[in-house]
């Protein structure tokens, strides 16, 4: 039995339809996002029969769950090579976005993970304290934690910009040579993520270096193949 909520219905095997174009396919590769709180305009959202959490990979819906309060679990479907219609579903390291859907009004609201990103990985379980409709800007420049680390061959690098800034984000090898330039240019203020696919690089220690204005920071990465 599918428990995306009484709005959902199964049209054909593994095919889940919410309403209109809000449809997705169940796959065997799934990640699970447990969400403890949803806030709209700073107000905590109580359990409500009209609100559904939607998961997106870019603009493709890849999961849904009725909001049932603290600890609501949102299964996120991933790419499955045996299911042709999952071609644009997330693969390891892809960043999932969250939206709220109101079943009564049809309203869809973009939500933010409040400063963190939770890259997709099959069978990964995340516990997320809060998801908010308000865009929260960071107070400082920061090179955040990369996940996973150690990794093989994909990791997601998180960073924060309190203001729009010119930024470079480069990968160095243990000899101090740049092996890949991930970002070079101006970016808006906010929390950002970039994925590094190190498939063409050998196992070993690498460093990601962020330069934004006068801010400089370096983080060690371990590629294990």
Tokens 């220690």 belong to residue: 205
Average pLDDT value for residue range 94-101: 90
Residue 20 has a pLDDT of 55
The span from the CA of 30 to the CA of 205, in Å, is 30
Digit-coded pLDDT (tens) for 169-210: 999 999 999 999 999 999 888 778 788 999 999 999 999 999
Residue 89 has a pLDDT of 97
Residue 7 has a pLDDT of 43
> Does the structure show a pLDDT above 50 at 118?
yes
Digit-coded pLDDT (tens) for 53-94: 999 998 899 999 999 999 999 999 999 999 999 999 999 989
Q: What is the CA radius of gyration of the chain?
A: 19
Greater confidence (206 vs 136) lies with 206
The span from the CA of 134 to the CA of 163, in Å, is 17
> Does the structure show a pLDDT above 80 at 11?
no
- Among 27-31, 107-111, 164-168, where is mean pLDDT lowest? 107-111
Q: Which domains does the chain have, with CATH numbers?
A: 15-133 (2.60.40), 142-223 (2.60.40.1930)
Q: Could you say which DSSP state residue 112 is in?
A: B
Residue 146 has a pLDDT of 83
- Among 38-47, 183-192, 211-220, where is mean pLDDT lowest? 38-47
Count of Cβ atoms closer than 10 Å to residue 6 Cβ: 9
- Going by their DSSP bridges, the two strands 97-102 and 215-223 should be labelled as unpaired
Residue 4 region, left (φ>0) first, then alpha (ψ -120 to 50), else beta?
alpha
> Does the structure show a pLDDT above 80 at 5?
no
Residue 107 parent element (H or E): none
Smallest Cα–Cα separation from 215: which of 153, 152, 169? 169
Count of Cβ atoms closer than 10 Å to residue 52 Cβ: 24
């Amino acid at each position: 039995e599918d428990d995306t909520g009484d709005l959902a219905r199964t049209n054909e095997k593994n095919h889940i339809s919410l309403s209109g174009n809000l449809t997705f396919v169940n796959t065997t590769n799934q990640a699970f996002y447990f969400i403890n709180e949803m806030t709209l305009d700073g107000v905590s959202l109580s359990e409500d029969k009209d609100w559904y959490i939607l998961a997106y990979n870019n603009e493709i819906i890849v999961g849904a769950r009725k909001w049932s309060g603290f600890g609501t679990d949102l299964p996120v479907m991933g790419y499955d090579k045996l299911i042709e219609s999952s071609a644009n579903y997330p693969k390891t390291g892809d960043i999932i976005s969250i939206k709220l859907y109101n079943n009564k009004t049809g309203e869809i609201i973009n939500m933010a993970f409040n400063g963190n990103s939770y890259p997709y990985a099959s069978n990964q379980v995340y516990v997320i304290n809060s998801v908010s409709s308000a865009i929260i800007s960071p107070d400082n420049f920061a090179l955040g934690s990369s996940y996973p680390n150690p990794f093989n061959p994909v990791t997601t690098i998180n960073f924060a910009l309190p203001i729009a800034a010119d930024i470079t984000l480069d990968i160095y090898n243990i000899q101090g040579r740049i092996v890949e330039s991930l970002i070079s240019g101006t970016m808006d203020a906010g929390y950002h993520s970039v994925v590094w696919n190190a498939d063409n690089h050998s196992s070993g220690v690498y460093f990601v270096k962020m330069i934004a204005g006068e801010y400089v920071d370096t983080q060690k990465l371990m590629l294990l193949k």
